[in-house]
Structures are given as structure tokens and as C-alpha cells.
Structure 1
């Protein structure tokens, strides 16, 4: 926009505002002024003044719109801040709830293990007794081949079948509870899951390997439930050989 046009518009706007100040004057003074200077009517009805008033109205509406937009923006910003605070509160609450649920599950798991551990150990003890009784019993009676063609077959060892059936049921119960035996025989001695109850000098076995078990160990969900009692191979040292009178 040209500078001269800007100054003209500002002058007209200033004149318009001055005219507003004189609007509160007495009607008689306004009438005398109108009668004394007929040019005032011509100025009042000048199209340039109408254009200035239109521009002033546009500027006033733009200013009002700008203020309204600022107000609405401030309201939206406050609402977003409140939503952000609520979201952060919900997020922290969910995190705390998740943490409490995990702790509750851990406590429940520990309580379950504390309650079931003695019962599982009792079942394992009963299983050991059954296995020991089955191993210490008389050998199984096997019918000769020619008895198949005889009308009277030999009576099976019912007590052995009963023990074996009970032993299999106990093993199934333990397996359902994720209780598994620990394999130690033929492997290096592992102090984390077994303890040595005896040693044996066996030249055919490498030193430190488990030769036999006096009690089987068990794990529960990957954790030690009962340690195994094992017999470990141990070579006789030079001192033992000297005590026996051997000379190298």
C-alpha cells in the first residue's frame, strides 16, 4: 500500500474519531454548526469518509477476531494441559497396578511353593521307599517257555505289579507338578545339586565322576527340591600307595 494512501486513511480515521468525541455535544450546538457551515454536510456525506468508516469497522472486526482466537487457543491449551496431566496420572497408576500385580503373583507363587514343598518331599520319600522295597524283593519269577502251551500258567508276582503300578502313579504325579529327577550317574560331581556320601577307588572310572546314587535328587521348576546323595570315584594318591607298600 502506498505511503500517501496510508496517511490519508489514518487522517480520515483520526477525523472520524474526533467526530465521535463531538457526538456528545448539545443538539443545538450541532444544529448551529450545521447551519453555519454547509460544507460539514458535504464532508459528512463524502464517500471517502464512508470508506474510512468501512476500513475502521474491518480493522475492529479483525482485532476482535484475533482476540477471540487467542482466547480459544488459550482455552484449548489449558484443556490439553489438563488432558496431559490426566494421562500421566493414568499411566503412572497403570504402572503401579502392573507392579503390584507382579508382586502379588510372586507372593502367591512363593506361598504355593511353601505349601507344596513339604507335600512333594513326602511323596518323594514314599516313592523312595517303594523303589527300595521293589529292589530288595526277590527276583521276578519268569515262566518257562513251555508253560505257554500248558493250561495252567504260573501265578504272576502280584505284589511286584502292585508296587510298580504305584511307583508309576507317583512318578506321574510328580511329573504333573513339574518335579523331575536329577541325572547324576556317569557325570561329574555337581555340588549345587548333590552331596558326596562316600568315595570309591575305581580305576575304570575317571576321578570325580559319580559312580552310584544312594538317594536320587529332584528339581522343581528348575530349582533344587532335594539334593542327591552320590558316591564319587576317587583315585588313590601317592600317600595311599606308599601306605600299602607300593614302590614306584
Structure 2
């Protein structure tokens, strides 16, 4: 047991000796002037840590900068793609609505034209001899004429409201009849030889053409005059 105590005491003495020697060495070195030309960080062993820290900070800052630029580029690309998709979707939706509105307008226009063509002389209609003998018959005729007038007024008002709506879409009908043939906005589906009208003049319109935002959306189908001498009209 005594031997164990002596051995432990000897170990403690060696540790104490080493600790005291380190303290003395540090005290002795601290009194000496540092070597000229060598930074104190190197002598104290802090140079590598500081340099490593600077390298790490520089790399981290470069990575953050690159990541920031990448995020900006991705955000800009996403915004452009999103804007393009929105514009394409809006244009497709407007085109579908516009096609439906133009189809309704064509039907109203055909109806109005038919009514006017069938009863274009009813305003000067006068009762005949038999109508005077049978006033009830004449009253029925007048009622029929009144119904036709109401139908014509309905077509006209419907077209007017629809044209106002198309105007909001910046859509307008292309004026063709009586104008010179324009291959950019018209398709000549029929040609009539005549010497009474200048060659290339549009005689009638089979299907109305339209412009949308200043551009031809749908060309008109027209009948064009041609001189009997054999002149040609570009279709």
C-alpha cells in the first residue's frame, strides 16, 4: 500500500514539474522581443486560422453572390414565362369569345337582310279594292307588316348592341362594298364581268371581314367586278 502511495506521489510530482516548466518557459519567452519580419499571428499559431477564416468568408460570399444572381435570373425567367402564358391564355380566351360573337353577328345580319329584302316595299303598300270590301283582311295584313317592322327593329337593335360590344374588343368590320379589291383583307370568291363599274371594284359581300387591334382577323369574301376585255383580279 505504501508503495502505491509513493508511486502516485511520484506521478503527481512529475506532472507538477512539467506544469511549472511550461509556466517558466512561457514567462521567459514573453519577456523576449518578437523576431523582426515575422507577424505575431504566425508566432502565436493564429495565422492559419485567420487565413482559413478569410478564405472561408470569401468562398461563402462568392457562393451567396452566385446564388443571389441565380435566384434573380430564375425569378426573371419565371416572370417572363408567366406573363407569356397569361397573354396566350387571354388571347385564346378572347379569340373563342370573339369567334362566337362574330357568328352571332353574322346570323343577325343575315336575318336583317332577309327581312329587308322580303318586305322592302311594304311601306308604300296601299289597300286594294278587295281590301276595302273586306277591312278585316286589310287589318290582318297591317298587323303582319307591323310584326315584320318589329322584327326588323329587333335585328337592328341587336346588331347595334353587338357592334358596341365588339368595339370594346377593338374589333371592326372591314368596309368592302364599293371599294377597290384589297387582297390583304379580302378574298374574291366570285367575279362578275361588267362594263358599268371599274374593274376591281367590290360589288357585294358574301361574308363580312373583320379587323382586330388594327390587324386583319378574318378576310371578307366578296364578289369583284372585271371588265369584259378579260382583265384579271388577284384572288
Same fold (TM over 0.5): yes
Give the one of 72, 76, 97 matched to 2:57. Answer: 76
Instruction: Call closer, same or farther: CA 1:139–1:165 in 2, change over 3 Å.
Output: farther
Verify: 1:124 aligned to 2:105, yes or no. Answer: yes
Instruction: Verify the 8 A CA contact 2:108 2:155 in the aligned structure 1.
Output: no
Per the alignment, residue 11 of structure 1 pairs with none
2:186 touches 2:222 (CA, 8 Å); kept in 1? Answer: yes
Distance 2:230 2:161 in 1: 50
Asked whether the 8 Å contact 2:194–2:228 carries over to 1, the reply is no
Q: Per the alignment, do residues 72 and 233 of structure 1 end up closer, same or farther by CA in structure 2, a change over 3 Å counting? A: same
Corresponding residue of 2:163? 171
Tell me if structure 1 keeps the 8 A contact 2:177–2:203. yes
Say whether the 8 Å CA contact 2:205–2:221 is kept in structure 1: yes
- Give SS of 1:56's match: coil
Q: 2-side partners of 1:140 and 1:87: how far apart?
A: 79
Larger radius of gyration: 1
Quote the residue 2:78 is aligned against: 97
Aligned counterparts of 2:210 and 2:121: Cα–Cα separation in 1: 28
- CA spacing shift, 1:131–1:108, aligned 2, 3 Å: same
**What's the counterpart of residue 138 of structure 1?**
120
- Taking only aligned residues, the RMSD between alpha carbons, in angstroms, comes to 3.9
Tell me the equivalent position of 2:224: 232
Give the Å deviation of 1:105. Answer: 1.8
1:214 Cα deviation after fit? 3.1
Point out where structure 2 has 5 or more consecutive residues left out of the alignment: 1-17, 22-27, 125-145
TM-score norm. by structure 1 comes to: 0.55
Count the aligned residue pairs. Answer: 179
Q: Of residues 210, 218, 221 in structure 2, which corresponds to 1:218? A: 210
Per-residue CA shift, 1:133-172, capped at 9, x if unaligned? 3532335859xxxxxxxxxxxxxx7524443322211222
Instruction: Give distance in 2, aligned partners of 1:177 and 1:79.
Output: 54
SS in 2 for 1:189: coil
Aligned match of 2:93 in 91, 95, 112? Answer: 112
C-alpha distance in structure 2 between counterparts of 1:113 and 1:226, whole Å: 15
Shift, 1:235, TM fit: 1.4
Query: Which 10-residue stretch deviates more, 199-208 or 165-174?
Result: 199-208
Using a 3 Å threshold, how does the CA distance of structure 1 residues 132 and 123 change in structure 2: closer, same or farther?
Answer: same
